[in-house]
Amino acid sequence: MDYIDEAQIVEECERRDALYRLMLKRAPQESQYRDPEEGRVLCLDCEEPIPMGRLAANPKAARCIECQYDYDREVLYESRLYAA
Ligand SMILES: [Zn+2]
């Protein structure tokens, strides 16, 4: 592999990262879903209570870490589908 190949790979990764960040920024902020009885914030996807630590770090979190990760990956996948 020469410098040009390497530079192309780096460029590709950076473009993908930039696109990903842009998609995340543009994704609408989803409102949280609360357990009507206990008032805890529940994950939009798995409906498990979102841990307090996660809410402390991100008070507007609408998903648990695992579901957010999957969701972000989906957004990234879509951004790549519609990028070209
Ligand atoms: Zn979840």
Instruction: Count structural domains, the chain.
Output: 1
* Cα(57) to centroid(ligand 1), Å: 16
Q: How far apart are CA 51 and CA 5, in angstroms?
A: 44
Q: What is the pLDDT of residue 27?
A: 66
- Domain limits at 21? 3-81
Q: What is the pLDDT of residue 65?
A: 95
* Cα(11) to centroid(ligand 1), Å: 33
* Cα(68) to centroid(ligand 1), Å: 7
29 or 60, which is more confident: 60
Q: How far apart are CA 6 and CA 35, in angstroms?
A: 50
Give the pLDDT mean for 57-62. Answer: 91
| Residues 4-53 pLDDT 10s | 999 999 998 888 888 777 776 776 678 899 998 889 999 999 999 999 99
Give the pLDDT mean for 51-71. Answer: 93
